Amino acid sequence: MPTRPDHSQPVIGGTPAAPITPPRAAEEELESLLSEFQQRQTEAKSGPAIQQDPIEAFRERTLRELIPMFVELADKYAKSGAALNMDASNFLQGGREIKFSFALGEYRIQLEGIVTSDSIAFREIRDTPEVRGELASGPMLRLRRLTAQGFRDFICDQLAILIRAAMRRR
């Protein structure tokens, strides 16, 4: 809408159009907003620390708690002929992939997972003497409430699924 040199309001159809903010008032508003923004930035910097990224926290926990627990389970069940493997190298180096494999004789389950901020979503690949490479949507592990015991139960559940499958087919 065109402005008049004296900054008065134009009249459209007998009613005044929306008021035009004089240039000086707009600049004052801008200065006020910038001042408030800078104050909030300063308060944010001196406020409480930002929470750690959930994926980074899970990386640390994986290294500190979950890998040693997995190694313990792998050693324990190796005596019974079960092979458990975990490949977290991609995840620990900043990636998002984590893999598990469980084997008992000719039976094998591979879980290939993608880590998100709140879960690990797995795809499952099953190998049996009858079927090689059966691909399915796998389990999901929620990270928010995952405890060390919950992780242990998850690993044991996957091994139990494999053993049940091997027993059915023998």
Judge whether residue 4 has pLDDT over 60.
no
- pLDDT value at 8 more than 80: no
Q: Which domain holds residue 80?
A: 54-169
% of the chain at pLDDT higher than 70: 83
Within-domain flag for 33: no
**Short-list 150, 144, 140, CA closest to 58:** 144
- Determine which of 15-19, 36-40, 156-160 has the lowest per-residue pLDDT on average: 15-19
Please state, rounded to an integer, the average pLDDT across all residues of the chain: 86
* pLDDT on residue 25: 82
Q: Which of 14-18, 80-84, 132-136 has the lowest mean pLDDT?
A: 14-18
CA–CA dist 92, 100 (Å, integer)? 14
User: Is residue 58's pLDDT more than 90?
Assistant: yes
What total number of domains does the chain contain? 1
Reference 20, options 42, 1, 39; nearest CA is 1
69 lies in a domain? yes
* pLDDT over threshold 90, residue 132: no
Does residue 126 sit within a domain?
yes
pLDDT at 41: 82
- Domain membership flag for residue 34: no
Query: 55: closest CA among 84, 100, 102, 90?
Result: 90
Which pLDDT does position 130 carry in this prediction? 85
pLDDT of residue 157: 96
